[in-house]
Amino acid sequence: MIHRREEAAVAGRLEGKNTLITGAGSGLGRATALRFAREGARVACADLDPDAARSVAEEIGPAALALTADVTSLRDTEEMTRRAIAEFGHLDAVFANAGVAGTGTAADVTEEYWDRVIGINLKGVWLTGRAVLPHMVERGEGVIINQASMGGLVGIPGIFPYTAAKGGVIAMTRQMAVEYGPSGVRVNAICPGTIFTPLVARSRAERGASGADDAEANAAAARRFPLRRLGEVDDVASLALYLASDEANWVSGGIYPVDGGRAAM
- One-letter identity of residue 42: R
Distance CA 145, CA 79 (A): 19
Helix axes 27-38, 233-244, angle to 10 degrees: 50
Distance CA 180, CA 168 (A): 18
Catalytic residue (choose from 113, 162, 180, 242): 162
The closest alpha carbon to 196, from 53, 25, 26, belongs to 26
Judge whether 203 and 192 are in contact, CB under 8 Å.
no
CA 252 to chain centroid:
16
> DSSP character for 134?
H
Judge whether 233 and 190 are in contact, CB under 8 Å.
no
Distance CA 92, CA 105 (A): 39
> DSSP character for 195?
B
DSSP alpha helix (H) spans, the chain: 4-11, 27-38, 50-60, 74-88, 111-118, 124-139, 160-180, 198-206, 215-222, 233-244
The verdict on whether 113 is a catalytic residue reads no
Cα dihedral 237, 224, 118, 130 in deg (nearest 10): 30
> DSSP character for 249?
T
Element (H, E) at 185: strand 185-192
Q: Point out the residues that are catalytic.
A: 162
